[in-house]
Amino acid sequence: MVHENLTTLREHLVSRKLALEHAAELIDVIGAISLASRSIAHKVRRARLADVLGEAGGDNVHGEAQQKLDVISNEVLLHCLRRCPSVGICASEEEDEAVPVRPLSDGGRFCVVYDPLDGSSNIDVAVSVGTIFSVLPNDDESVLQRGERQLAAGYVVYGSSVLMVLTLGEGVDLFVLDPDLGDFVLVQQGLQLPASRKIYSLNEAYRDDFPGGYQRYLDDAHAGGYSSRYIGSMVGDVHRTLLKGGVFLYPPTTQAPSGKLRLLYEGNPMAMLVEQAGGTATTGSGRIVEVEPAELHQRTPVILGSREEVARVLGHLQE
Ligand code: P6P
């Protein structure tokens, strides 16, 4: 069909006539994220050529060595979001504190919380990385809100192609960046996770450090003919889980009793997407989106994916 794949991201969002207050302004925020991610995609693609691989020389708030592209991606997102008239606060994995942009009284009605380049240590070996984002209302000038208050959530995966997976609370849609058009075009609407799939995804190197329930689950999976798939880049692992089913886990360990992944800009946006796609996203003791955040960079255990697979994990945790 000549008109195939010619619905752009903005056209699709406008056509949805979203039952959301300030929908037009929210679409502008997604547009700013789209612009930033298209710029980041270009930089990731040229990383080795433009000598922006490797470490930037500093550490982030978590004491992790910042990659050059982490810093660059964060600056690109801040630049694009600050120009968006309805953004009130930005918060990033690469910023120690939230960044005020404009008060609610001046139109800053949304908070945007993001991991500018998740999995960035994989760039040097050409493994998929991504931008993860969450949009919250700026009702009380704080980003410390439960994930169930998210107005939108999504990620952009910079892989063999550049994809955006997005929800505004009315289902999950998939867009592909068409390099010839220079824009994201709609390729799938209403993405639904398979109810079950014998795939589990976690870093088994830490097996002996997981609580016993996770070890019993792994024994069960090994006996049950499951496949193990783990990229070590959350965006890549969650994207495969969303499309093919299975379960992705980052459990607590003795070294990291709350797990490694961050609640506000990794756990919550991925949890909203998975739940909107008919899956389950839990900390092991409750929905991720119901956790009351106490600080910007707090971590959370993550178990998400096909509802029957997550139920299987929870069955072992509750034994
Ligand atoms: P580990 C990447 O550094 C990241 O934050 C996520 O993208 C990924 O899921 C996780 O860490 C991998 O952690 O401990 O398995 O190397």
Name the residue at shortest CA distance from atom 5 of ligand 1: 119
Mapping DSSP to helix (H, G, I), strand (E, B) and coil, where does residue 189 land?
coil
256 lines ligand 1 (CB under 6 A): no
Rounded distance from Cα 80 to ligand 1 centre (Å): 27
What dotted CATH number matches 199-317? 3.40.190.80
What dotted CATH number matches 9-188? 3.30.540.10
Rounded distance from Cα 138 to ligand 1 centre (Å): 29
Rounded distance from Cα 30 to ligand 1 centre (Å): 26
User: For residue 121, which atom of ligand 1 is closest to its CA?
Assistant: 3
Taking the CA atoms of 154, 136, 294 and 291 in sequence, report the sign of the dihedral they define.
Answer: negative
CB 160 within 8 A of CB 188: no
User: For residue 64, which atom of ligand 1 is closest to its CA?
Assistant: 3
Residue type at position 94: E
58 lines ligand 1 (CB under 6 A): no
Rounded distance from Cα 136 to ligand 1 centre (Å): 25
List the chain pLDDT tens, one digit each, 319 residues: 455 668 999 999 999 887 888 999 999 999 999 999 999 999 998 877 776 666 777 777 777 777 789 899 999 999 999 999 999 999 999 999 999 999 999 999 999 999 999 998 888 888 999 999 999 999 888 999 999 999 999 999 999 899 999 999 999 999 999 999 999 999 999 999 999 999 999 999 999 999 999 999 999 999 999 999 999 999 999 999 999 999 999 999 998 999 999 999 999 999 999 999 999 999 999 999 999 999 999 999 999 999 999 999 999 999 9
CB 77 within 8 A of CB 92: yes
Rounded distance from Cα 157 to ligand 1 centre (Å): 15
39 lines ligand 1 (CB under 6 A): no
121 lines ligand 1 (CB under 6 A): yes
CA distance 7 to 12: 6
Phi, psi of 174 (to 5 degrees): -120, 130
Domain residue ranges in the chain: 9-188, 199-317
